[in-house]
Amino acid sequence: MSRLPAIICATLLPALPLALPAQTPAFPSKPIRIIAPFAPGAGTDTLARTLSGPLSKALGQNVIVENRPGAGTVVGSEVAARAPGDGHTVLIVANSFTINPAVRAKLPYDALKDFTGVARLASTPMILAAHPSLPAKSIKELIALARARPGELTYATSGAGTGHHLAGELFKSRAKIDLIHVPYPGGAPATIAAIGGHASVLLVNILSVASHVPSGRLRPLAVTSPERSELLKDVPTVAESGFPGFDTSIWFGSVAHAATPKDAINRLSTEILRALQLAEVKDVINKVGLNAAGLPAAEFDTFLRTEVRNNEKIAREVKLRLD
């Protein structure tokens, strides 16, 4: 038997290209897009823009903030859900992200199946405040007044389906009173309406109210967090005012497409949490009434799933639907 074919093969084989597995580009390989599903100036927008600089430096890529407001954060969330699952698109989220599945029958995405948690960022207490003409100086007096005037008092929030709206409906349910919800396109318009006497009660983030308390334009009644706020230390909590365990703070976080590789999620989470510890970042978020409340990816993902379940229970209890 001739050995020629074997010799030819042995000679040619080294010249043939080796079939190597495709190499995945190091993350990140292009600019990072942060989608803020609220209008410029909102809490999510402030967080995104405050973090963009440190993240850009840490990741070695430009970090671009893109505002996509509309439909109670549904518009921006859908944009993020349709983006490639490569980690280069991050969505800033708040309570509404976990409330929408409970109050809207049809969403163009699945909050839990299409997204995964990256990091929790910050939190802030909500506050119930009243126009000074309202004859109520405490939660107890507000409840008594509402029961004496059922269906007459209103409460303003930053919008339908927000954490403020759900908190207001939960408070109504627990207090067994009837307040008419009046949604506004943001905390600032709601606050202006309350100052102008167009709403009996206001339920927004505490910073929106804090500067109007010394002047007497608004009267604080209670904060919704488990503990009193450093901004208004003399204002009791709703829990202290007769509703133990009441806790409906506003939180902010970041998520990415569920298909995003785990190493990309972990890199994003690590750098975001590191940025939250920077003095210049803390200074900005504290000035807008937020407190850094970082959670890493896995813990935040668990937090989101728990929030969805809890909000579904609350929505059923208060019979809240938006469609």
70 within some domain? yes
The answer to the question of residue 91 being in a domain is yes
Asked, for residue 25, whether it belongs to a domain, the answer is no
* CATH number of the domain within which 58 lies: 3.40.190.150
* Cβ neighbours of residue 321 closer than 8 Å, sequence gap 6 or more: 103, 104, 105, 315
Are 80 and 48 within one domain? yes
Structure tokens at 221: 């009644």
Q: Is the same domain home to 114 and 253?
A: yes
Q: Which helix (H) or strand (E) holds 316?
A: helix 297-318
pLDDT tens, residue by residue, 211-238: 899 999 999 999 999 999 888 999 999 9
Q: Is residue 22 part of a domain?
A: no
Is residue 119 located within the same domain as residue 43? Answer: yes
How confident is the model over 2-24, as a mean pLDDT? 49
Q: What is the pLDDT of residues 98-130, one digit of tens each?
A: 999 999 989 999 999 999 999 999 999 999 999
Are residues 101 and 45 located together in one domain of the fold?
Answer: yes
Q: Is residue 177 part of a domain?
A: yes
Q: How many CB atoms lie within 10 A of CB 16?
A: 7
Per DSSP, 75 falls in state H
Asked if the structure places residue 236 within a domain, the reply is no
- Would you list the DSSP string of 178-197? --EEEE-SSHHHHHHHHHTT
Amino acid at 224: T
| Structure tokens, 316 | 């059923």
What is the model's pLDDT at position 135? 95
Overall number of domains in the chain:
2
Q: Are 155 and 201 in contact (CB under 8 A)?
A: yes
User: Is residue 180 one of the residues assigned to a domain?
Assistant: yes
**Residue whose C-alpha is closest to residue 188's, from 177, 174, 176, 204:** 204
* Predicted model pTM: 0.85
- In contact, 255 and 304? CB cutoff 8 Å: yes
* pLDDT computed for residue 1 by the predictor: 46
- The mean pLDDT of 18-24, rounded to a whole number, is 52
| 146 and 76 both lie in a single domain | no
**Which residue is associated with the tokens 């989101």?**
304
Q: Is residue 16 part of a domain?
A: no
As given in the structure block, the two tokens for residue 230 are 């450093």
Structural domain that includes position 150: 126-223
Same domain, 116 and 36: yes
